[in-house]
Amino acid sequence: MSDNSVTNILVAGIGGQGVMTAAEVLSQTALNQGYDVKKTEVAGMAQRGGVVTSHVRFGERVLSPAIPPGEVDILVGFEPAEALRWCSHLRADGVAMVSTTRQEPPVVSFGLYDYPEDPVGQMRKAGIDLHAFDAGAIAAALGNLKLVNTVMLGAISEYLPFSADTLKNVILDRFRQYKPKLVEINEQAFEAGRKAQAAG
CATH number of residue 48's parent domain: 3.40.920.10
Q: Give the phi and the psi of residue 77 in degrees, each rounded to 5.
A: -100, 110
136 within a domain of the structure (yes/no): yes
Checking if the pLDDT of 112 tops 90, the result is no
Q: What integer pLDDT is reported at residue 17 of this predicted model?
A: 87
Provide CB contacts within 8 A for 92, sequence distance 6+. Answer: none
User: Is this model's pTM higher than 0.85 or not?
Assistant: yes
3-state helix, strand, coil in the chain (%, to 5): 50, 25, 30
What percentage of the chain exceeds 90 in pLDDT? 78
Query: What is the average per-residue pLDDT within 44-72?
Result: 85
CA distances from 132 to 63, 83, 88, 156 (A): 32, 10, 17, 12
Yes or no: say if 103 and 17 are a contact pair by the CB < 8 Å rule.
yes
DSSP state of 156: H
2 within a domain of the structure (yes/no): no
49 within a domain of the structure (yes/no): yes
66-90 b/e with 16+ CB inside 10 Å = b? ebeeebbbbbbbbbbbbbbbbbebb
Nearest to 81 by CA among 111, 104, 62: 104
173 within a domain of the structure (yes/no): yes
Structural domain boundaries, residue 112: 7-199
pLDDT digits (tens, 9 = 90+) for 166-190: 999 999 999 998 899 999 999 999 9
Q: What integer pLDDT is reported at residue 46 of this predicted model?
A: 43
DSSP state of 67: P
The burial of 155, by beta-carbon neighbours within 10 Å (0-12 exposed, 13-18 middle, 19 or more buried), is given as buried
143 within a domain of the structure (yes/no): yes
1 within a domain of the structure (yes/no): no
61 within a domain of the structure (yes/no): yes
17 within a domain of the structure (yes/no): yes
Confidence class for position 2, pLDDT limits 50, 70, 90? very low
Query: What is the average per-residue pLDDT within 117-145?
Result: 95
Query: What is the average per-residue pLDDT within 148-155?
Result: 97
Query: What is the average per-residue pLDDT within 117-124?
Result: 95
Query: Other C-beta atoms within 10 Å of 160: how many?
Result: 21
* Domain count of the fold of the chain: 1
Query: What is the average per-residue pLDDT within 138-152?
Result: 95
pLDDT digits (tens, 9 = 90+) for 52-63: 899 999 999 999
